[in-house]
Amino acid sequence: MGSHPSVNDLPGELLAEILRRLPPRSLAACRSVCTLWRAVVDARGILLAVAHLVPRSLRGIFINYLRHHPLGRSHGFFSRAAGQPVDGGLSFVPGQTRRYCSVLDHRNGLLLYETKTAMYVCNPATRRWATLPTLPRLTPVHHPYSNYGRRMYLMFDPTVSLHYHVFFFSEVPKEPTKSPRIRRGGSHLSTAADYKHERNTLGSAEWPPYMYPVQVFSSRTSQWEDRQLVREGGAAVTVSDVRSDGSSPLSDRMRLRRHAVYWQESFYVHCDTGFVMRYGQIDAMVKCFC
């Protein structure tokens, strides 16, 4: 006696046409039924096409004060008086101290949150949180400069994947120090002429570089890994241009607040001097477009 045909025996295009007729919430639930259904939904962007139809309400907003708050607060949360309360103070996150805590970035309801002892990704609405593992130290192979600022960004789009990424970017290298450095043998490595040559050489370098090494944390693997951003097209500016940009933040902490947007599986970062970089294909080879 033969087996009865199932919906999984349908051609992919026909199954996609059936799923496309479902309301957004039902479609999202069907995506979790099996690997085949998820592949059909994701490959054709069905859920992404109807995501704008899902009713959303603004629960509240976070504001980074960037040290400008009179009481020294790094951020504040503002919500509606009615509705279910949200813990904007993030008291459920461990390691809270009054001396230092900061919301570094946010994306679609998730926050990248830093305390004095650790870094977390948390959801204020559900009070769930995850601790990020310690960031591996950058080696001289990746960054030959000992002085640079840092930026970290959170990437999360629930219409594409329930996993999130945290990107760690190096900042443009600072100018070399003027003070002489001593070799083991005791001779001076850096003279005034050496300093000038090093400064000019480094200042004329392209920014962003053609191969831009970054570190990426994925909630799928729960670990950091090295990635290479491959630039397509010419460089936007030089290192010297970025250093001389009057709008660039003056401190490393404030440099973390450069804005970014994650939209349709590409990440757009507003950089010093005003240009925008787009990073595509987050889970595969990453490309940078200036």
**135-192 pLDDT tens trace:** 776 544 334 333 333 578 888 887 777 889 998 887 777 776 665 555 555 555 556 6
Whether the predicted pLDDT of 250 surpasses 90: no
pLDDT at 229: 78
> Is the separation of the CB atoms in 247 and 274 below 8 Å?
yes
Beta strands 223-232 and 286-289, pairing class: parallel
- For residue 155, give both structure tokens: 């990437």
CA-closest candidate to residue 259, choices 119, 154, 110: 154
Q: Which residues contact 188 (CB under 8 A, 6 or more apart)?
A: 180, 181, 182
Strands annotated E in 23-127 = 60-64, 75-79, 101-107, 110-115, 119-123
What is the arithmetic mean of pLDDT over 198-214?
A: 77
The pLDDT tens digits of the residues spanning 51-64 come to 666 666 667 777 76
Compute the 3-state secondary structure of the chain and give helix, strand, coil in percent, each to the nearest 5: 20, 30, 50
Residue with tokens 């009070």: 127
pLDDT band at 285 (very low <50, low <70, confident <90, very high): very low
Domain boundaries, the chain: 11-53, 57-132, 134-290
Most confident segment among 40-44, 47-51, 197-201, 212-216: 212-216
Say yes or no to pLDDT of 47 above 70: yes
Tens of pLDDT along 85-127? 676 667 777 766 555 667 788 888 888 888 777 888 988 878 8
pLDDT of residue 222: 92
- Nearest-5° angle of CA 187, CA 192, CA 197? 105
Structural contact between residues 40 and 15, judged by C-beta atoms closer than 8 angstroms: yes
At residue 197, the pLDDT reads 63
In this prediction, residue 221 carries a pLDDT of 93
Q: Is the pTM of this model over 0.85?
A: no
